[in-house]
Every structure is written in C-alpha cells, then in structure tokens.
Amino acid sequence: MVVDHTTVLIVGAGPAGLVLGNLLRAGGIGTVIVERASREQVQTRARAGFLGPNSTRVLTEHGLGAGLLHKGHSHGVCAFRGEDGEFELDYGELGTGEVHTVYPQQDLVTDLIAEYLDRGGDIRFGVTVTDVDPRTATIRCRDERGESVVSGRFLAGCDGGNGVTRAALAARRYPQDHGISWLALLVEAPQSMTAVTYGIHDDGFAGHMARSPEVTRYYLQVPPGGDAEDWTDERIWSALDTRLRTDEFGQLKQGPILERRIVRLRSEVADPIQHDRMFLVGDAAGLISPSAAKGANLAIMEAEVLASALISALHDDERPLAAYSRTCLPRIWRAQEFSRWMIDLLHGQDDDFHRGLRRARLDSLRDSRAHQNFFAEQYVGI
C-alpha cells in the first residue's frame, strides 16, 4: 500500500478546494487535492454562475481572475413578475452599490485547475476516499492503481454536502428540508430578458438566469419526488410560458435543453466546522439552497479564511485557525437566513392567506426603498 504525506490534504476539487489549494500554493505550502470525479467531469459540471463582489475580489487579488475578467460580465438588475405585473430592481444602484459577476462555475473550475497545476500543485482525479481520520488528518483511498493512505498536517474537507469528510466530523448538524423541488434546466439559447427574472405564479415558481451569451439557466418548481424525465420539452416550455407570463411580457428564446435535473431545496449547517486537524469548507460546512446564489460565494469566502489561518498556523500562530468556526459560522447563518427569506418570497402555500402574504412581500419590495436596500445588500453580500 502506498503511503504519502503532505502539509495540507484537500478532499474535493470544486471551487472550495481549488481556491484553497491555490492560495496555499501561493503561500509556499505543500498540498495534495484528491477528487472522486474525473477531470473532464469536474470541468463540465454546470453549477452556479453568480459571483458576489467578495468572491471577485478574492479571485482577482490572488491571481485567479484572468478568465473571470476576460469572459465574465457584470449583472446588477433583477425582475419580479407576478399577478400585478413586473417590476425591476437595479440592485447595483441600491444598498452598497455592488453587483454580481456572471461566470459559469465550470469555467471557473477549469481556470482554477490550470492555475493550481501551474503553481506546482498535486491533484489526483478518480480517487475514492474510503475512510477519514480527523485526528491524524489521514485518509484511506483507492483509484485505478490500488489502495493508498495520504496524510497531512491538516486536512480540509471540500467534498460537498454528501461527502465523506462531513460524515467524519464530530459536530452538531442543523438540517432543514424546505419541502420544495426545482427542475433545473440548461438551455442552448440566448437569454430572453436582460435581468435575472423571478416568476411568481399560483402554479409555482419559475426563474430565468443568464449563464453565457449562448446558454440560459431556467428553474421550474415541481412537485417533490418527481422525475426530471417526466418533464418533456413541450411541457417545460408550456410551464415556463405560463409562469413567466410570456403572453404579457414577450416570448422566450427557445433552444435545445442541454440538462434537466431535480434539485431538492435543502439546507444544513454543521457546528463546529472544525475538529482536531480537519476543517470543512463550502457545502461540506454549510449546505445551502440555490434560492439566493450563495453556495459558491460561501465556499470562496471560507477558503480564503482557512488559507490565511493555515499559513499563520504553519508560522507558529494558531489563533486564527482555532477561530475558524467562530469566524465563518455567523456568515454562513446570515446567508442561510437570506436564502430562507428568498424561499418564502418566491414560493407560497396554496391558500388565500399565504397568497396575500406573498403579495404583501412583493408590494413592499417594489415600493419601499428601505426594503430594496436591505435586499440589495443581502443579495450580493456574505
């Protein structure tokens, strides 16, 4: 059996693990990243694409933003469509005056892998982790070459909400199933509106989000427990037309549906997000629903905090590392709170009382400058 050792062992090659690995390599720290999927799978996995200003700052300040600056585009307007019509919020002119940068996650991951390898990083794809020991920062794993053991002075769990590192951490868990499912769609067609658009309808929520000039993300609320394949192209476009009220606001630009999958809106927070020599980052630390585009942004924030703390610890100051949970958890909970606020805004129970509440929320968001400023600040911030 092969036994290997490094300074910081990272499990998972999503945004959390790759940003962490790059920041540590820039600090001269030895790292190994292990990832269950293949490089091709990781680089083509379509996920979130809205990066907040803090994420953009972290990436650009640390030399990780070349692709983002070249191909990403700023976005600062969202729209809400309901039974009383449509209104837009130019959130870039509200709150703190900040906007999102739209850059598909698979493109960001591709950039981060290339930069990590250029910095001399060691990344191993197709590795299945079979056992994790937080006390010794050691994993047992296997790949096509057989079984091996890899250990580090520290271990970072960046392998998602269902990963093995999260299961190995001794922590309290605070799970929440929001009882809502979305059909997530990627469509090969230009965006149909300039703004991110939220359709609020008695049939259920529908969303329109730009991803690139050629690809648009749509979401459809669907009954929990369904199968994505139950939704034919004809059924999907009919539901989108109804919920986005295209008879009133104009037709959607249609194209081939490249991806359709069911997303269950769930949240969970671990507390603490560190134990012994292991630290959780990204969805492993706090799984969050996609309702407010916070997942990748939380991952990048936590990766920056942990990288700085690990570098300090390796220079004999362990105080920032000891405070990792205390530093990150309040931000995770704030993001969870806004995500839940968005869920309540976009989805309503099917009775007159809750329809009235939903209408009141939208009226307040449309008419109250204080409410708009709150939304803008929370929408782009961590």
Q: What is the pLDDT of residue 323?
A: 98
Indicate whether 192 and 282 sit together in one domain: no
Helix, strand or coil, per DSSP, at residue 90: strand
Q: Known catalytic residue: 324?
A: no
Percent share of the chain, pLDDT over 90: 87
Query: CA–CA separation, 260 vs 244, rounded Å?
Result: 18
pLDDT at residue 175 greater than cutoff 90:
yes
pLDDT at residue 349 greater than cutoff 80:
no
Indicate whether 134 and 193 sit together in one domain: no
Indicate whether 44 and 141 sit together in one domain: yes
pLDDT at residue 71 greater than cutoff 80:
yes
The per-residue pLDDT for range 176-202, each reduced to its tens digit, is: 999 999 999 999 999 999 999 999 999
Give the per-residue SS3 of 148-203.
EEEEEEEEEECCCCCCHHHHHCCCEEEEEEEEEEEEEEEECCCCCCCCEEEECCCC
Q: Known catalytic residue: 5?
A: no
The per-residue pLDDT for range 254-267, each reduced to its tens digit, is: 999 999 999 999 99
Q: What is the pLDDT of residue 382?
A: 77
181-190, 239-248, 348-357: the lowest-pLDDT one? 348-357
Q: For residues 302-325, b (16+ Cβ closer than 10 Å) or e, as one string?
A: bbbbbbbbbbebbeeeeebbeebb
Asked if the structure places residue 60 within a domain, the reply is yes
Asked if the structure places residue 119 within a domain, the reply is yes
Indicate whether 284 and 205 sit together in one domain: no
pLDDT at residue 12 greater than cutoff 80:
yes
pLDDT at residue 2 greater than cutoff 90:
no
The number of distinct structural domains making up the chain is: 2
Q: What band does 19 get if pLDDT is binned at 50, 70 and 90?
A: very high
Catalytic residue among 116, 208, 290, 324: 290
Q: Known catalytic residue: 134?
A: no
Indicate whether 29 and 119 sit together in one domain: yes
Indicate whether 227 and 202 sit together in one domain: yes
Asked if the structure places residue 89 within a domain, the reply is no
pLDDT at residue 350 greater than cutoff 80:
no
Catalytic residue among 75, 208, 294, 347: 294
Question: Which residue, chain included where needed, has tokens 């995500």?
Answer: 339
pLDDT at residue 170 greater than cutoff 90:
no
Indicate whether 36 and 170 sit together in one domain: yes
Compute CA 146 distance to the chain's CA centroid, rounded to the nearest angstrom: 33
Indicate whether 195 and 116 sit together in one domain: no
Query: CA–CA separation, 150 vs 138, rounded Å?
Result: 6
Catalytic residue among 70, 223, 256, 315: 70
Residue 52 to residues 47, 194, 286, 301: CA-CA distances in angstroms? 15, 18, 18, 10
Asked if the structure places residue 285 within a domain, the reply is yes
CATH of residue 334's domain is 3.50.50.60
Indicate whether 53 and 31 sit together in one domain: yes
pLDDT at residue 48 greater than cutoff 80:
no
Indicate whether 196 and 317 sit together in one domain: no
Asked if the structure places residue 223 within a domain, the reply is yes
Asked if the structure places residue 13 within a domain, the reply is yes
Indicate whether 53 and 194 sit together in one domain: no
Q: What is the pLDDT of residue 233?
A: 97
The per-residue pLDDT for range 214-237, each reduced to its tens digit, is: 899 999 999 998 899 999 999 999
Host domain of residue 374: 178-265+349-380
Asked if the structure places residue 80 within a domain, the reply is no
Q: What band does 1 get if pLDDT is binned at 50, 70 and 90?
A: low
Q: Known catalytic residue: 379?
A: yes
Pairing state between β 196-199 and 216-222: unpaired
Q: Known catalytic residue: 174?
A: no
Asked if the structure places residue 49 within a domain, the reply is yes
Closest CA to 16 of 286, 358, 236: 286
CATH of residue 248's domain is 3.30.9.10
Indicate whether 137 and 23 sit together in one domain: yes
Give the mean pLDDT of the chain.
94
Count the Cβ atoms, other than its own, within 10 Å of residue 163.
21
Catalytic residue among 91, 103, 198, 219: 198
Those residues whose C-beta lies under 8 Å from the C-beta of residue 224, and which sit 6 or more positions away, are: 179, 180, 181, 264
Task: Give 5's Cβ-side CA count (13 Å radius).
Answer: 2
- Contact between residue 256 and residue 187 where contact means Cβ atoms under 8 Å apart: yes
